[in-house]
Structure 1
Amino acid sequence: MSADRPPPGPKPPGAAFAGFGRTVSDEDRALWREAMSRRAQEAFARGQAALQASNTSLGLFWLERAERMSRHNPNLIWSVGLACLSAGRLMDCLVRMENLRKDFGLREAAFLEVVCLVRLQRMEEATLRMQAALSAFHATPETYPLAEQIAVSAGLPGWMTVSNAGSVYIGTSRPVRLFLDGREIARGATGGQYDLPEGWRLARHLAVCVGRRHVLGSPLDIAALTRCESFVQATADGLRGWIWTPAEPEHVPVITLWNGSTLRAEEFAQDVDSDVPLARYRVFHVPAKECPGRDKSSLDLWNENGRLLTGAPVDPLVGKLVSGQTRGLPACLCPVKIQPGRMRPYLPRQSPGCAVVIPVYADRVRTMACLRSVLATCPADVPVIVVDDATPEPSLARALEQLAEDGRITLIRHDRNRGFPISANDGMRAAAGRDILLLNSDTLVPAGWVERLRARLAGSDVGTVTPFSNDATILSYPSTDRSNPVPSLAAMRAMDRLCQKNAAVFTEIDLPTAHGFCMAISAECLAETGLFREDLFAQGYGEENDFCLRATARGFRHLAAPELYVAHVGSASFGTARNALGARNLDILNALHPGYHALVARFIAADPLHETRRRLDVARLLQQGAGRSAILMLQHDAGGGVGRVVRERSEAFEADGVLALALRPHENGCVLEYALDGKCFPSLKYRLPDELPSLLDLLAALRVRAVEWHHLIGHAPCVRTLHEALGVPYDVFIHDHVWFCPRISLCDGAGRYCGEPDPAGCELCVARWGSYLGEDLSIADLLARSTRELSGARRLMAPSEDTVRRICRHFPSLSIEAIPLEDDAALHQGIMPHRRVTRGQPLRVCVVGGISQWKGYDLLLALATEIQTHRLPIVLSLVGHTHDDDALISRGVLVTGEYREDEVQSLIRQQQPDVGLIPSIAPETWCYALGQVWRSGVEAVCFDLGAQGERVRKSATGLAVPLGVAPYQLAMILLGRWGPV
């Protein structure tokens, strides 16, 4: 039916299909990622070479292939966007530049958006985008003519741009006035260059006016222009780091050191790991001999805005710790092996009181939403201590002051930014011996959160408690291995009610470490362990882990509170330095506490919270199905055509008010899914056969009224009798020939259609070439089982009449209903038959889909070889992929690579095909690729067998040629029918 089956080979691997008893190793995944990366790099190199040779269309083809093979790679998106601009594909360029500007604040993308809009003659939008760009970025001289053009078009008196050196360039011939935060600082008889006064960076806005009208780009957002990203770490040879100004990458930043001296970061970095396209990091190095001794442990480094570099303060001796040079280090930096101290006896404790501590820096909207949720839910005797870490947002500062004046919070204010650990410590010191509820300012809390956390602190052996959240690593829910959506306040409350009702409140699950987004700390634990270390972790990441490991050594436990759910937006602080800071601090953590990484890895492998997550998933799924009956569809784990049919049938079931469920195989058993979104309930995994009773209980509670078999390959044997255990009927949708062919595709190992011999012939084939079933089953046993199972079904369905006839030849007593998967009449309605190419132009033949051996890979390769050898006027393209794209590419085939369903028609159109080719050399039960060819408006050629041949013959468009036609003869047929007269 589709590219969801493995290509035939001499010896089928045991794990041809993912499923029960078949593990895909981390090494296999790594090899796959490496192969994909290599192919993407090769496509990128081909694209760049074609562009350098002035072949824009070919260059764009290869770059887009690379982009699809490495989706979300911003550097590829940038390159493809530029190529689209050169090719005149302005909308394609515009979309990519908008995304890059939004995702990365990329200056070049912002100005290229304007270029696209101008060329599209969308001048009003171009003016708005240029205003936004000039107000946030420094414009290079190459951009000046564009700014002038737009200012004239919009009737504005001129335009402006500002550099980080404090120079203002104004493009106007009229008198101007300059204002910093509303205060006039300069005026002139005309435009030109002006220098801003000392301290201009402390202002918020710069306005340039002609009369009372702003020029284009005014007012300037000074914080956006001067935004600086940086990173510093201690190494064995001193301090190393990087710094840059994204709004003006040409600017050479100046760094102020702890002693007041400065250094210029002039040299560009070569090895900074970053996803930001066109990032121009500049590196700096302070040699160890220039760093002070132990009289001053942590060193401050500031950028030109007076803010600490990310990673500062930094202790130079940490470089020795991380590099393993521990001799001579002070005791506070000596590694300590992780080992629990003497476990403290459990005794009920009397809390000395409780305080909420919230460090705050920026993002007024999220911070105030957090504070509103906290103030609405905190008991009257629980003070809320807010530490303002020198917020750069005046509106946030004023809002905090008002809350303090109203007596609703205790406000601690820093005169300069100090980072999360210091801010948290200042808040905890102010709590005066109470239990602490440490909370990030980008969280939302539900009613009762304080009481539930405090209840978990009721034992004297408990040091910290952490709740569930959408973003809390090992405490994330629903998923721990991918990002969960950030819930709204209402959604958070609903999730919290679910956790309250379904999590096991009396179950204690020990954690290796708490998570600092919402962390309850007992007063005794804080007193004995000490505060967060301020000398190691700078702005944050890892300080709470270090604290917990020190507390563990004193016998304190760290508990999960899955009965509480707190929403967490997740940190966007530190810009591109976030990953670098996290990696640096993790290295420090592992060096300081050897074995930390293994400790967390053991916890993840054991997954003691799985049962809790599964209970929550069960409760949510039952909510989703409340009042409805359900259909359970069994499918394999290979996607393709089977996955599409399941999805389409699920949509139809849901439209009729029936809950659509799907069961996929898993290496230990199976995964139950909501069929329209397989990622909703990631913990509904069941070990089979051990957990079969639990699965059956859930399916019964969901009121499953029937089971629909789509594919059982990869499933545990007990899945075949689920319907019996549930006492419901089952239907079978026949997708392929697995019922009588252990190789599924009716092809031998050499890629030839077998002709469907008798059972003895099948035995010989399987003995020689192997089976894809993953079962030790003879042909006779397979046929007997298939007869029994197909005969016992309430309803049998197949996509085509050809499939019905073929199955019935092997199982003559069956009654099978043919259900076409597409409306062929509608698909080929707009096709112009017998259309020939213009004389002198090559015939463009397009193949669509994932082409395995049975899908015709060998034929396609042979056809390409004949075209290349005989220099035939045929251009062969493949919108799709194969197991060996390189061989096809070397023979001149244009291979796009894998695609999403919503991309296929656009990709076909880009090939400008004259005819489509379906090269499958075995009978298909359906062929979605044929539908895509017809949908693009061209006729199709295929071999006269299976559903593909049946459909082409009925359509009276295209050709169904005899199987076995030689590749050269096929080329002549194509030229004879569609080539020039």
Structure 2
Amino acid sequence: MEQTINRFVRDMSDRHGRVLSSRHDGLADLSETPEVLLPRLEYLQRSHPSARDITLGIGFCRLALDEPRASEAFEFLSSVTLSPLARFFLLITRMRFGAPDRAFVELRALLRETAVIFPDIAFPLFSAIAEANRCSGWCAMLPDGRLVAGLPEHAAHDLVLRHDGEEQSAELALLARPPGYQVWEIGNFVLPPHLPRIDILHEGRGLLGSGIDSRTVWTFEGFVEGAAEGLSGWCRYPNNLEASDHILVRTVEDNRTLFDGEIGPPDDGPQDSLLQAEKPRTDFLLPWQDMEGPTTPAVTVTDRFGRALYGSPIDPLAGGRYARTQAEWVATRFASAYPASARPTFNQPFPTLYAPRFAVPEADAPAIPTRKVAVIIPVYRGYEVTRTCITLVLQHRGANERVVIINDCSPDERITAFLDTLATLDGVTVLTNARNGGFTFSSNRGLRAVERDEDAILLNSDTLPPPHWIDALRRTVYRAADIGTATPLSNAATIFSYPSADGQNPVPSYEEVIETAEQLAACGCDALIDVPTAHGYCMYIRAECLHQTGLLREDVFAQGYGEENDFSRRAAALGWRHVACLETFVGHAEGQSFSAVKSDLVRRNLAILNGLHPGYDRMVQEWLARDPLGAFRRDLDLARLRHAIAGRPVVALLTHDRQGGVQRFVTERARDNLAAGHVPLVVSPHRAGNGAKDAGWRVIPFLPEDYPNITLPRQGAELHTLLRALGCDRIEIHSYIGAGIRDVHWVSRSGIDYAVYLHDYSWFCPRITLVSHNNLYCGEPARDVCQRCIADLGPLNSDDAPLDLLRDLSDDLFRRAGAIIASCQDVADRYRRHIDAPITLGQWEPPVPTRPATFLPKAPDEIRRILLIGAIGIEKGYNILLALARHVADHALPMRFVIIGYTCDDARLLATGVVEITGRYGEHELAALIRRHPCDWGFLPAIWPETWSYILTEFWRQNVPVITFDIGAPAARIRATGTGLTVPLHLPIASLATVLLTPWLLRIH
């Protein structure tokens, strides 16, 4: 058994390795052995963190190499996607490394939720897990819907089958004999189309896996749309890897069958799904001629169990009929001398490319907003969020407000049971669809229940409405007679999103929803901001607007996305306005019902929307460019910030807009200031567009809450004014890069005390790092040489200030500073040669315990593993490292380089065959990565006088002795502590290789 599984694991690892080698550059030249493949896959994973096939390959390789960490890959895949394959191999990993108790829990869920794969391996594996946990047996569903049960070979073979409230004795046929077990097929079971729960009992007790949820086993995902050639789309059963994909096409009007058959497997065969982290989609194209050609009517497209693909029902040729009618109208309007067609029955004008506005008939609604409201909530999936949403709506509704809930044939029995408990409540109506019709269909069913003088609110079932939310929306709508809809702000509502306008905000807690809603109400903003469209997540619709515009178009938008935009543009064509409600905030979890096909529905329905309303996308983009809500978002951020500051002193940290050690230091300074009772504001350059007028400052408070909208013009006194208004008593200037020396010099004249921190040499060197021609340290020559360097190579500081102006402004800024702080004497000495100002020394990090370096001697042929850490670019010594690697490879020296991090060109280094690269890492991973890649000593190859080195500190923390060039702060720190070796900067490559091979022969500093 164990040998069989070992061969199976190795075979799967090899096969998957060949698949990966054909997909990813950099793997094709490798043998597919796990030993060789694993480190390269781990490197690729860091640059492709979302590539699940790479994650699966890592799991396979680790398992083939008997590494317990194989479970990490399989656990991750099991948690983020529907992956029966990952769950299956996680069971193998559990049993191999002695965790049968965990395997028991995971197998029970696997048997209930997925169909069997690899039966020759699965049957003995399931039996071993059942035996290890003293179970009476196990049961499962095969890919074709048959049931099987595994029993100990000497156990009685009497099984009882139960589903839909009925029991029957199972008729058994022997299927397989894994060690100590017999696997039986249950012959008198046929899977019912309604996919019930199935229990299999032995001697009155459920087998391991009993309670098979056949609806989950046969989870279905699919999408369909019309194309020029026919019906196009995809489908799959993600929990049943070997199930054939089968669809039916029937006419909507009379239920005639136009197609009934299988549409797979994919071209590379059914086994392809057994080599991927998740089952691939099966694409299909059903030609029109295989149905009813150009007369094909509206159809439904379902799977074998009658479950609709998203996009169904679909009237596939409606667009063609629209185009034909328009062509016929034009032909008669501009007829030839011998017209060939009769005039169509209606006039089809040319579609407009702008938003029309006509006068709205005067509304009969009262001036004081007291009108009744019906809250329409379509429900499908997401039990917990749905229960929370409806509970909150009922908790906060008033006397004039009722709730209409539409159960869209939810597959979740808990949702149905919960809605049944609400059906008897006063002011609550529960409607149940006989089939799953989607958001648009269900919304219309609720809207049809709205009374003549009753406003409506369309509300997603995954929202978090705060107290008084309906009052706020109603007040907004009735501020003008022509307002048809109002939509509140939310964390995830496209153009209505806050705090981040792109909608990439975390789902707030309910306490945060209430707090934000209260802050909005307290702002007292009286602006009416028109928007191009309402948003259906929470859409208040005035009764007159609803009745004049009509319902949502379920004929073209199917399950949803775009239907509220179409409604909004139709209403706008009738003269109704759409506005943002700035008085409340509604939380939104987003995407509970059909996230698996969201991208396809959005793409299809946006195309339809732009066909119905040409220029819609452009109109929205123009609105976004104007950003009418931007000023309000900024003011709300500032109001929240003033509340959060609560009288504490404020310190501003002025930095650049790049990554690296400066940002790390600024973050640590912000953390220290916060701990000392100050509120830190990180101020950095920001550019909203490409012009000079778009240049600005972004102010990010270093607080737990998010304030992404505080941007100010670069020119003028707005930053000065804001800092003084917030109580800023000190500025730390860390860099002018990105903003420019002129603007930072202007900030320094705000009248607020400031200090300057020296992180590089940009204050007197536009090249920043003192690296000049041939990518070498320049030696800090006279000013005229610097002028030629800048003329030849150009600046790297994103500033067009001439060298003389740069140094003059820097000198003035330094002379007025309260303090100028350098990390070490080496940095201070270099600055004093160029700018005359007193400089204070201060450590960039807390002291780290160190011990004298020891380079242990190695045998002549013993491989030396040299560790490098971080992002290695030209200034960090890339060219030297590349020359070293090629020298080592050409001379077959016993030395290998391990880079924990990445470089500016990994490929050339990897091509030498003597370099390993892990890829990008998070700071929290670094210590573990160093332990996982044991090395003999470290190398810092930077060719410029660095002002600090966090990497050196990490070497010290891990007790790794270090070799570096005799320049800059790292060399000074090593000399001061005796923790490594410094060598001349321009040492020939051959000599440098000798030093790295035998550092114990040299004098340690």
The TM-score with structure 2 as length reference comes to: 0.87
**Residue 16 (structure 2) aligns with:** none
Shift of residue 224, structure 1, vs aligned partner: 1.2
**Residue 708 (structure 1) aligns with:** 732
For 2:133, the aligned partner's letter is: A
Instruction: Give, in whole Å, the separation in 1 of the partners of 2:202 and 2:861.
Output: 61
**Residue 146 (structure 1) aligns with:** 125
**Residue 238 (structure 2) aligns with:** 246
**Residue 194 (structure 1) aligns with:** 186
Shift of residue 579, structure 1, vs aligned partner: 1.4
For 2:244, the aligned partner's letter is: V
Between stretches 845-854 and 469-478, larger displacement belongs to 845-854
**Residue 929 (structure 2) aligns with:** 907
Shift of residue 241, structure 1, vs aligned partner: 1.9
**Residue 771 (structure 1) aligns with:** 795
Shift of residue 180, structure 1, vs aligned partner: 1.4
Shift of residue 96, structure 1, vs aligned partner: 2.3
**Residue 502 (structure 1) aligns with:** 523
For 1:428, the aligned partner's letter is: L
- Retained in 2: the 8 A contact 1:400–1:411? yes
Instruction: Give, in whole Å, the separation in 1 of the partners of 2:637 and 2:22.
Output: 43
Between stretches 124-133 and 849-858, larger displacement belongs to 849-858
Q: Secondary structure at the match of 1:810?
A: coil
For 2:885, the aligned partner's letter is: A
Seen in structure 2, the aligned counterparts of structure 1 residues 165 and 868 have a Cα distance that, compared at 3 Å, is closer
Seen in structure 2, the aligned counterparts of structure 1 residues 269 and 240 have a Cα distance that, compared at 3 Å, is farther
Say yes or no: does 1:840 pair with 2:861.
yes
Seen in structure 2, the aligned counterparts of structure 1 residues 369 and 309 have a Cα distance that, compared at 3 Å, is same
Q: 1:649-688 to 2 correspondence within 5 Å?
A: 649-667=669-687, 668-675=695-702, 680-688=706-714
Shift of residue 76, structure 1, vs aligned partner: 2.6
Instruction: Give, in whole Å, the separation in 2 of the partners of 1:574 and 1:565.
Output: 24
For 1:75, the aligned partner's letter is: D
**Residue 31 (structure 1) aligns with:** none
Q: Secondary structure at the match of 1:590?
A: helix
Shift of residue 170, structure 1, vs aligned partner: 0.7
- Retained in 1: the 8 A contact 2:360–2:574? no
- Retained in 2: the 8 A contact 1:236–1:323? no
| Structure 2 counterpart of 1:90, from 50, 68, 87 | 68
Instruction: Give, in whole Å, the separation in 2 of the partners of 1:704 and 1:323.
Output: 64
Shift of residue 319, structure 1, vs aligned partner: 6.4
For 2:396, the aligned partner's letter is: T
Shift of residue 338, structure 1, vs aligned partner: 3.9
For 1:228, the aligned partner's letter is: F
Say yes or no: does 1:565 pair with 2:544.
no
Q: 1:228-627 to 2 correspondence within 5 Å?
A: 228-258=220-250, 259-260=256-257, 262-268=260-266, 277-292=277-292, 297-318=297-318, 320=320, 327=327, 336-344=351-359, 349-350=364-365, 353-433=372-452, 434-458=454-478, 459-502=480-523, 504=525, 506-627=526-647
Shift of residue 787, structure 1, vs aligned partner: 2.6
Between stretches 892-901 and 665-674, larger displacement belongs to 892-901
**Residue 853 (structure 1) aligns with:** 874
- Retained in 1: the 8 A contact 2:85–2:277? no
**Residue 101 (structure 1) aligns with:** 78
Instruction: Give, in whole Å, the separation in 2 of the partners of 1:178 and 1:151.
Output: 20
Seen in structure 2, the aligned counterparts of structure 1 residues 139 and 814 have a Cα distance that, compared at 3 Å, is same
**Residue 762 (structure 1) aligns with:** 786
Instruction: Give, in whole Å, the separation in 2 of the partners of 1:248 and 1:328.
Output: 50
Seen in structure 2, the aligned counterparts of structure 1 residues 626 and 88 have a Cα distance that, compared at 3 Å, is farther
- Retained in 2: the 8 A contact 1:670–1:688? yes
For 2:359, the aligned partner's letter is: R
- Retained in 1: the 8 A contact 2:748–2:813? no
For 1:46, the aligned partner's letter is: G
Shift of residue 858, structure 1, vs aligned partner: 1.7
Instruction: Give, in whole Å, the separation in 2 of the partners of 1:437 and 1:896.
Output: 53
Instruction: Give, in whole Å, the separation in 2 of the partners of 1:73 and 1:325.
Output: 47
Instruction: Give, in whole Å, the separation in 2 of the partners of 1:333 and 1:81.
Output: 60
Instruction: Give, in whole Å, the separation in 2 of the partners of 1:154 and 1:483.
Output: 45
- Retained in 2: the 8 A contact 1:923–1:946? yes
- Retained in 2: the 8 A contact 1:242–1:269? no
Instruction: Give, in whole Å, the separation in 1 of the partners of 2:125 and 2:524.
Output: 60
Instruction: Give, in whole Å, the separation in 1 of the partners of 2:879 and 2:509.
Output: 53
Identity %: 33
- Retained in 1: the 8 A contact 2:401–2:427? no
Seen in structure 2, the aligned counterparts of structure 1 residues 777 and 526 have a Cα distance that, compared at 3 Å, is closer
- Retained in 2: the 8 A contact 1:361–1:389? yes
**Residue 808 (structure 1) aligns with:** 832
Instruction: Give, in whole Å, the separation in 2 of the partners of 1:575 and 1:971.
Output: 55
Q: Secondary structure at the match of 1:384?
A: strand
Seen in structure 2, the aligned counterparts of structure 1 residues 805 and 337 have a Cα distance that, compared at 3 Å, is same
Say yes or no: does 1:750 pair with 2:774.
yes
Instruction: Give, in whole Å, the separation in 2 of the partners of 1:322 and 1:946.
Output: 73
For 1:153, the aligned partner's letter is: A
- Unpaired stretches in structure 2, ≥5 consecutive residues: 1-19, 173-181, 251-255, 330-343, 688-694
Q: Secondary structure at the match of 2:642?
A: helix
**Residue 184 (structure 1) aligns with:** 167
Say yes or no: does 1:927 pair with 2:949.
yes
Instruction: Give, in whole Å, the separation in 1 of the partners of 2:534 and 2:664.
Output: 42
Count how many residue pairs are aligned between Structure 1 and Structure 2: 928
**Residue 15 (structure 2) aligns with:** none
| Structure 2 counterpart of 1:718, from 729, 743, 751 | 743
**Residue 992 (structure 2) aligns with:** 970
- Retained in 1: the 8 A contact 2:945–2:969? yes
**Residue 783 (structure 1) aligns with:** 807
Instruction: Give, in whole Å, the separation in 1 of the partners of 2:267 and 2:403.
Output: 44
Between stretches 658-667 and 254-263, larger displacement belongs to 254-263
Instruction: Give, in whole Å, the separation in 1 of the partners of 2:794 and 2:245.
Output: 65
Q: Secondary structure at the match of 1:847?
A: strand
For 1:961, the aligned partner's letter is: V
**Residue 79 (structure 1) aligns with:** 57
- Retained in 1: the 8 A contact 2:59–2:73? yes
Seen in structure 2, the aligned counterparts of structure 1 residues 332 and 86 have a Cα distance that, compared at 3 Å, is farther
**Residue 120 (structure 1) aligns with:** 97
Say yes or no: does 1:157 pair with 2:184.
no
- Retained in 1: the 8 A contact 2:43–2:919? yes
- Retained in 2: the 8 A contact 1:134–1:217? yes
- Retained in 2: the 8 A contact 1:438–1:518? yes
**Residue 737 (structure 1) aligns with:** 761
Q: Secondary structure at the match of 2:299?
A: coil
Seen in structure 2, the aligned counterparts of structure 1 residues 599 and 144 have a Cα distance that, compared at 3 Å, is same
For 1:804, the aligned partner's letter is: A
**Residue 145 (structure 2) aligns with:** 166
- Retained in 1: the 8 A contact 2:224–2:312? yes
- Retained in 2: the 8 A contact 1:321–1:334? no
For 1:396, the aligned partner's letter is: I
Shift of residue 44, structure 1, vs aligned partner: 3.7
Instruction: Give, in whole Å, the separation in 1 of the partners of 2:765 and 2:23.
Output: 38
Seen in structure 2, the aligned counterparts of structure 1 residues 607 and 452 have a Cα distance that, compared at 3 Å, is same
**Residue 203 (structure 2) aligns with:** 211
Seen in structure 2, the aligned counterparts of structure 1 residues 299 and 747 have a Cα distance that, compared at 3 Å, is same
For 1:96, the aligned partner's letter is: A
- Retained in 2: the 8 A contact 1:321–1:333? no
Shift of residue 786, structure 1, vs aligned partner: 2.4
Q: Secondary structure at the match of 2:586?
A: strand
| Deviation per residue, 1:824-853 (Å, 9 max, x gap) | 4x2x44x76121335533211122222222
Seen in structure 2, the aligned counterparts of structure 1 residues 328 and 127 have a Cα distance that, compared at 3 Å, is farther
Instruction: Give, in whole Å, the separation in 2 of the partners of 1:186 and 1:226.
Output: 24
Q: Secondary structure at the match of 2:26?
A: helix
The TM-score with structure 1 as length reference comes to: 0.89
Shift of residue 315, structure 1, vs aligned partner: 0.9
Shift of residue 177, structure 1, vs aligned partner: 1.8
Q: Secondary structure at the match of 2:247?
A: strand
